[in-house]
Copies of this chain bind each other. A is one copy, B any other.
């Protein structure tokens, strides 16, 4: 797979591929701000795509799930590696190098997106979207034409076959969060289903504890 775009202004391209561990040692800016803009641009393009192509049945709640599914590191990082663009990232960290290598090796063997994807891969993909947007004179249509062949399919699949996240399913089932608690070693979340049963979830942060509790409540229900 190839990404068909030639940059007019190479500075955008270089910034999008420069991690802060590298930029500290040279005059080039890191991709942080481009990534932030790319994330908002991607959100907007995904919502616009669903608005223009699907009818009223796709509620904002559903679109939020689709966006989360897409924006989670798996899809975006996987696309970057498919283009072999991970080899172009400029960073200065053994830890990042190891994580990328381990992900790429796993992906090559299993052809799947199940391995944990280093955040830097999705970040660079988002920065790259913003870089193309500025380089193409702020043209939404231009950027969408480039990324649509890869992202459009994933969005459409999400819509036809929604994999609702456990927290939304839990809340749709009438579940309630009763208590969240964080101590020195972990977070704990206590939830209750409409039949009165309590479930306790654990995780290294609040989000993971909540997701664990919701998943347990749903497992017992199914």
Spell out A's residues near B (CB within 8 Å): 29, 32-33, 36-37, 40-41, 43-44, 47-48, 51, 56, 59-60, 63, 138, 140-141, 176-182
Contacts and interface: CB of A to CB of B under 8 A. Distances in A.
B44 A44 contact: yes
A140 B60 CA distance: 22
Contact of A33 (B29, B32, B56): B56
Nearest to A48: B37
Contacts of A176: 182
Nearest first, the 7 closest Cβ-Cβ pairs linking A and B are A36-B60, A40-B44, A180-B180, A44-B44, A40-B47, A179-B181, A40-B43
A41 B40 CA distance: 8
A36 B56 contact: no
Contact of A51 (B33, B48, B51, B59): B33
A41 B46 CA distance: 11
Contacts of A63: 36
Contacts of A140: 138, 140
A37 B56 contact: no
Given A138-B140, A179-B180, A182-B178, A60 B40 contact: no
Contacts of A32: 59-60
Contacts of A59: 32-33
Contacts of A138: 48, 140-141
A36 B60 CA distance: 6
Contacts of A51: 33, 37
A51 B130 CA distance: 11
